[in-house]
């Protein structure tokens, strides 16, 4: 006999930042809490949605068709296929104080505060997944050029492409920096010991701190490689300029010599 109730959570990363002000205009009557960076909706007694400006939407206790409907309503311009997503579940179990497993957290008490904390941690985890994916893609591209340098002794990448790489890396780093607050304990946990405990358990489970530091280290590697590429490109451009100057001087000397002979 089943002695618990399961509530499923589903999170989606939309690959771009979300305009929270536009979201708040669409579901005004359902908004429980909101700010410039996030908005928390209640659809009915046991159905919630949480939208974050760093590109994540989390649904609580929604059926799949309801999620598709809400994604289409809130973000009609975004391609829904291939979105990065993650699942989690809350189990209401009167005999289980606080027990976390691979993909669920079992609690004796589930209220709105708990739901919000769980949705927040799931959103943070998915955002880290996305940024890790982006950083690894940049690192793979960098390795192509470093392998080329090792095997052929030259760098076949133009200054413009290097600058594009740098731009993408810096933009991603800036996005992470803009949302550093997502890794802080939410204010509600400062005054509620139970919610603070739930948040601590989830943060440890999702490994948020070490994962963020790993992403940060990957970007440092990318940045160091790009800096080396820029220096090589600058040296190459300087060498070309030196040869152009030498050729122009030679042309001038030859022209002077021929003029004197004539």
In degrees rounded to 5, what are phi and psi of residue 19? Answer: -80, 100
Give the pLDDT score at 126.
93
Q: Are strands 84-92 and 104-107 parallel, antiparallel or unpaired?
A: parallel
Give the pLDDT score at 73.
86
**How many helices (DSSP H) and strands (DSSP E) are in the chain?**
6, 8
pLDDT tens readout for residues 118-130: 999 999 899 989 9
Which of 29, 7, 4 is closest to 94 using CA atoms?
4
Quick one: how far is CA 88 from the chain centroid? 19
pLDDT tens readout for residues 194-232: 888 888 899 889 888 888 888 888 888 877 877 777 776
Contacts with 200 (C-beta within 8 Å, 6 or more apart), sequence order: none
Task: Enumerate residue ranges in the chain where pLDDT < 70.
Answer: 1-2, 96, 154-159, 177, 179-184, 232-244, 248, 255, 261-262
Q: Give the DSSP letter of residue 252.
A: H
Q: Which helix (H) or strand (E) holds 56?
A: strand 56-60
SS3 48: strand
In degrees rounded to 5, what are phi and psi of residue 26? Answer: -80, -35
Give the pLDDT score at 238.
58
Give the pLDDT score at 255.
65
Structure token digits, residue 245: 């100057």
Give the pLDDT score at 1.
41
Contacts with 19 (C-beta within 8 Å, 6 or more apart), sequence order: 53
The whole-angstrom separation of Cα 70 and Cα 68 is 6
CA atoms within 13 A on the CB side of 249: 6
Q: Are strands 56-60 and 98-100 parallel, antiparallel or unpaired?
A: unpaired
Give the pLDDT score at 87.
94
Domain 5-110: assigned CATH number:
3.30.310
Q: Give the DSSP letter of residue 14.
A: -
The whole-angstrom separation of Cα 114 and Cα 234 is 55
Which of 249, 235, 110, 116 is closest to 185 using CA atoms?
116
């Amino acid at each position: 006999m089943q002695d618990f109730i399961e509530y499923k959570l589903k999170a989606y990363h939309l690959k771009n930042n979300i305009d929270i002000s536009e979201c708040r205009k669409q579901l005004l009557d359902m908004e429980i809490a909101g700010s410039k960076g996030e908005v928390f909706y209640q659809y009915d007694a046991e159905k919630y949605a949480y939208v974050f400006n760093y590109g994540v939407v989390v649904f609580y206790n929604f059926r799949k068709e309801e999620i598709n409907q809400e994604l289409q309503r809130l973000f009609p311009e975004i391609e829904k296929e291939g979105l990065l997503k993650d699942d989690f579940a809350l189990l209401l179990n009167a005999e289980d104080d606080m027990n976390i497993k691979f993909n669920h957290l079992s609690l004796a008490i589930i209220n709105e505060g708990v739901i919000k904390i769980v949705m927040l941690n799931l959103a943070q985890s998915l955002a880290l997944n996305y940024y890790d994916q982006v950083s690894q893609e940049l690192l793979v591209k960098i390795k192509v050029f470093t392998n080329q340098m090792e095997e052929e002794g030259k760098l076949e990448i133009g200054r413009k492409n290097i600058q594009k790489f740098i731009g993408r890396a810096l933009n991603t780093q800036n996005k992470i920096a803009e949302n550093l607050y997502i890794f802080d304990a939410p204010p509600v946990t400062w005054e509620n010991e139970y919610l603070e405990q739930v948040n601590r358990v989830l943060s440890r489970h999702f490994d948020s701190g070490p994962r963020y530091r790993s992403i940060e280290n990957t970007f440092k590697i990318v940045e160091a490689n790009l800096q080396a590429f820029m220096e090589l490109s600058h040296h190459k451009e300087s060498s070309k300029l030196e040869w152009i100057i030498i050729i122009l001087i030679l042309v001038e000397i030859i022209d002077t010599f021929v003029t004197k002979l004539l």
